[in-house]
């Protein structure tokens, strides 16, 4: 089982403050603690390991640049995933402009599948049933509108609270709840569209 830093770890705050003062070692510790989690999130959001690796690297470049302005309030995960979410949304928009999503391709699907936990590992709102395959789940998540997909990933894969999802997406808590509710309904509808399902 993957070990994750506790949300709001004050030690993370101290590391960002130190990085903001130019301490490269503090930044390295943050990358060691959070790099795998950021990479997994981006891979789920984008479906491409290569793109996720590029954006994970860019995430920590931005963390380093923004560190001098960071306010230590024990909310580092929210601050970090706001940066990550913004980069993911920018990449999704860039792909759209290029027409990248037209027939996204098997390579992207395979990368997304590798990044997903086994279906029985979670069950948000009863939508993602244990009988669903990883392929079905990956396909359903990929079909959600961008902001709904990011909200679902932040809430159910990163275990952020709704208010933290809202902060990470730069929206209100009500709007985040609405995105999550629509995302859950969307997943339910997509999963029920499968052949042989009623």
| Confidence label for 195 from pLDDT (cuts 50, 70 and 90) | low
Task: Check residue 112 and give its pLDDT.
Answer: 47
Q: How far is CA 25 from its chain centroid?
A: 25
Q: Rounded to whole angstroms, how far apart are CA atoms 75 and 12? A: 9
**All domains in the chain, ordered by first residue:** 1-101 (1.10.1740.10), 116-198 (1.10.10.10)
| Confidence label for 47 from pLDDT (cuts 50, 70 and 90) | confident
Task: Check residue 12 and give its pLDDT.
Answer: 92
Task: Check residue 80 and give its pLDDT.
Answer: 95
pLDDT at 141 exceeding the cut of 50 = yes
What is the average pLDDT value for the chain, to the nearest integer?
A: 78
Contacts with 198 (C-beta within 8 Å, 6 or more apart), sequence order: 192
Tokens 């995960």 — which residue?
A: 77
Q: Rounded to whole angstroms, how far apart are CA atoms 94 and 193? A: 29
Residue that wins the pLDDT comparison between 146 and 122: 146
| HSE toward the beta carbon, residue 166, CA cutoff 13 A | 11
Q: How many CB atoms lie within 10 A of CB 74?
A: 13
The tens digit of pLDDT for each residue in 48-64 reads 889 999 999 999 999 99
Return the percentage of the chain with pLDDT > 90, whole number.
38
The tens digit of pLDDT for each residue in 85-126 reads 989 888 887 876 665 434 444 344 444 444 444 444 444 444
Give the H/E segment covering residue 145: none
Task: Check residue 134 and give its pLDDT.
Answer: 64
Task: Check residue 133 and give its pLDDT.
Answer: 62
| Confidence label for 162 from pLDDT (cuts 50, 70 and 90) | very high
pLDDT at 190 exceeding the cut of 80 = yes
154 with 81: CB under 8 angstroms?
A: yes
């Amino acid at each position: 089982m993957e070990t994750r830093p506790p949300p709001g770890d004050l030690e993370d705050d101290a590391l960002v403050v130190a990085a903001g003062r130019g301490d490269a070692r503090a930044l390295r510790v943050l990358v060691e603690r959070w790099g795998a989690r950021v990479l997994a999130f981006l891979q789920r959001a984008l479906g491409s390991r290569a793109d996720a690796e590029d954006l994970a690297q860019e995430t920590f470049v931005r963390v380093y640049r923004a560190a001098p302005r960071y306010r230590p309030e024990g909310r580092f995960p929210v601050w970090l995933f706001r940066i990550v979410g913004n980069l993911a949304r920018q990449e999704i928009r860039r792909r759209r402009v290029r027409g990248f999503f037209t027939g996204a391709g098997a390579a992207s699907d395979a990368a997304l599948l590798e990044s997903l936990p086994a279906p029985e590992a979670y069950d948000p709102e009863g939508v993602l049933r244990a009988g669903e395959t990883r392929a079905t789940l990956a396909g359903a998540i990929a079909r959600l509108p961008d902001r709904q997909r990011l909200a679902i990933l932040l809430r159910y894969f990163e275990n952020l609270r709704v208010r933290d999802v809202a902060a990470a997406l730069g929206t209100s808590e009500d709007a985040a709840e609405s995105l999550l509710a629509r995302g859950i309904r969307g997943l339910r509808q997509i999963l029920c569209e499968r052949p042989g399902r009623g």
